[in-house]
Chains A and B, each alone.
Chain A
Amino acid sequence: MTDIQEDGVRRRDFITIAATGTAGVGALGAVYPLVSQMAPSADVLAESTTEVDVSAIEEGQAIKAVFRKQPLFVKRLTAEEIDAAKRDDAADMRDPQTLADRTQEGHEDILVIMGVCTHLGCVPLGAAEGESKGEYNGYFCPCHGSHYDEAGRIRKGPAPTNLEVPEYAFTSDTVIQVG
């Protein structure tokens, strides 16, 4: 047998390391699909954009759509709401953003936000008529009492950030594509 010590390294040491290394790489390769299979499947990803026609939304009215299986609020702000939101642009906020940051140029009156409270994911009130709008005339999350203003910015309560503005674009003057 040749597994006699030579410089302290035996032939067997090499074989052991090579074999377990190969098996280890193989095992990692096998683990990848086992993990990846839990990620969204093709049919879920195929439903990941939503189109909304905003032409029929009246001033001061909001509609609820579904974007990635979650509520999406699309609201046409009134002139007073725009003014109020702009007045507060410089106010002390947890997550400072101006109204202009949260809307698109030329469409300052269209506010597109996720109806998902950034605290723990409940649906805030305020989009539908008659619902509580909270202390800042915007949205109020009944779960843990987060108050959002007209532009969906967090003003009071536990939520860490403003209501999310998803990626969207106007595909025509009246239609937006979200996602």
Chain B
Amino acid sequence: MSFAWAKPYEPQNDLMKWIDQRLPLPRLVYDAVGAGYPTPRNLNYMWNFGSLAGFFLVLQIVTGVILAMHYAANSQVAFATTEHIMRDVNWGWLMRYAHANGASFFFIVIYLHIFRGFFYSSYKAPREMIWLLGVVIFLLMMATAFMGYVLPWGQMSFWGAKVITGLFGAIPLVGESLQVWLLGGFAPDNAALNRFFSLHFLLPFVIAGVVILHIWALHIPGSSNPTGVEVKQESDTVPFHPYYTAKDGWTLGLILVIFSLFVFFMPNMLGHPDNYIEANPLSTPALIVPEWYFYPFYAILRAFTFDFILPAKLWGVLAMFASILIWFILPWLDRSPVRSGHYRPLFRKFFWFGLIPTMLALFWLGGMPAEEPYVMLSQVFTAYYFLHFLVILPIISQIEKPEPLPFSITEGVLGKDENAVLDAKPAAAKA
């Protein structure tokens, strides 16, 4: 693990030596996120979202455990205890708003983290396992977020639960019984609420476990970088601490400012007013949409309105799941040996003018009502989405002529300078 020039951990005093010989936890931290982890020197801001995602996971667990101290998962009182948290519990409003907006921010940083991976092909060998674990984390996040949204037991909670479990009802033969089994009833009620609460509490810790595997897998080859050229020499790297701890700290401060704007000044902007109405099994809200971070997948779900061999309902469900599961085979769809989009002219065009507008359009369409022209547009962009991954990406990775790569990261940063070696003084000062 790690590079030959990685600084070995040296306990500074007898106590740390004593600990190191018995439980080398400080050594583990030092080698993972300390001065003992050499990191490419050219990481740009797109590499900051992993640590931010880690922060939001911790924030969600801390605020979530606290909310669970005051919340009761019973359909009779769930809505009331949510209001109890908002009105009676000391700082309860802060805990709940931080948790609700924390989920949104978790998804914002995760989406940027994923798009970093798309553009710089972070999924390519030897980093496939990091990518696969990342997709697993994303799926777990989606399940956790969905179940968390059910807990306040408002109108959106109830109808979200009904619609999403209804997806499983689309599966031929077993679908209906599966849906009843998932809910523990014929519609969302106390049984469903209780199990969703139990799983919503459990899954974040599963996510934390997979995150550890994700980071473990990352530390085998080390971080990728904007050139996509692997680390060759010591001058290609800087120690993670203090260089990237400081940089991550700076973006953490920045995002906390934006996060605070939401929590303190517009805490309900990303939510739906209907969820402040208690769940009513007899009345569906006028417009049911999921939380904004599910919009693209919801748009894909609703894009299928025609029966073609299989019923339309089933196509929608299959396409929605496939739109994420497809990421699992991404490392084998994109065969280009060049990683970074900076050196792939054709890929770059399709990324910026194909995939990104498509994702933005699907985000927009998922929040729109299920009527024309939105349905037709959803169909067009859903088609492009799958076309991009299944056809365009494999083809351009065959026919594209990549631009010349720098010999090394150092050369990529400083140009061809024989003396461009990083040591105590910044190399640029020497030139």
CB of B193 within 8 Å of the partner chain: no
CB of B269 within 8 Å of the partner chain: no
CB of B348 within 8 Å of the partner chain: no
Which one of A1, A36, A38, A42 contacts B87 once the chains associate, using CB atoms below 8 Å?
Answer: A42
Which one of A33, A36, A41 contacts B88 once the chains associate, using CB atoms below 8 Å?
Answer: A41
Please, how many angstroms separate the alpha-carbon atoms of A42 and B85 in the complex?
Answer: 10
CB of B66 within 8 Å of the partner chain: yes
**Considering the complex, which residues of chain A in the window 88-146 have a beta carbon less than 8 Å from any beta carbon of chain B?**
none
A39 nearest in chain B by CB position: B90
Which one of B70, B253, B426 contacts A41 once the chains associate, using CB atoms below 8 Å?
Answer: B70
Is B88 a contact partner of A37 (Cβ separation < 8 A)?
no
With A19-B249, A23-B249, A43-B84 known to touch, is A33 a contact of B429 (CB < 8 Å)?
Answer: no
Is A41 a contact partner of B84 (Cβ separation < 8 A)?
yes
Please, how many angstroms separate the alpha-carbon atoms of A41 and B429 in the complex?
Answer: 60
With A1-B429, A42-B87, A43-B84 known to touch, is A37 a contact of B92 (CB < 8 Å)?
Answer: yes
B256 nearest in chain A by CB position: A26
CB of A56 within 8 Å of the partner chain: no
Residues of A within 8 A of B (CB-CB), count? 13
Is B69 a contact partner of A36 (Cβ separation < 8 A)?
no
What residues on A are CB-neighbors of B249 within 8 Å?
A: 19, 23
Interface string of A1-39 (1 = CB under 8 A from B): 100000000000000000100010000000001101111
Which one of B87, B94, B426 contacts A33 once the chains associate, using CB atoms below 8 Å?
Answer: B94
Residue among A1, A37, A38, A39 having the largest count of chain B Cβ atoms under 10 Å: A37
Interface string of B27-71 (1 = CB under 8 A from A): 000000000000000000000000000000000001000100110
What residues on A are CB-neighbors of B84 within 8 Å?
A: 41, 43
List 20 additional contacts besides A41-B88, A42-B88; criterion CB under 8 Å: A1-B425, A1-B426, A23-B249, A23-B253, A33-B90, A33-B91, A33-B94, A33-B95, A34-B66, A36-B90, A36-B91, A37-B69, A37-B70, A37-B92, A38-B69, A39-B90, A41-B84, A41-B89, A41-B92, A43-B84
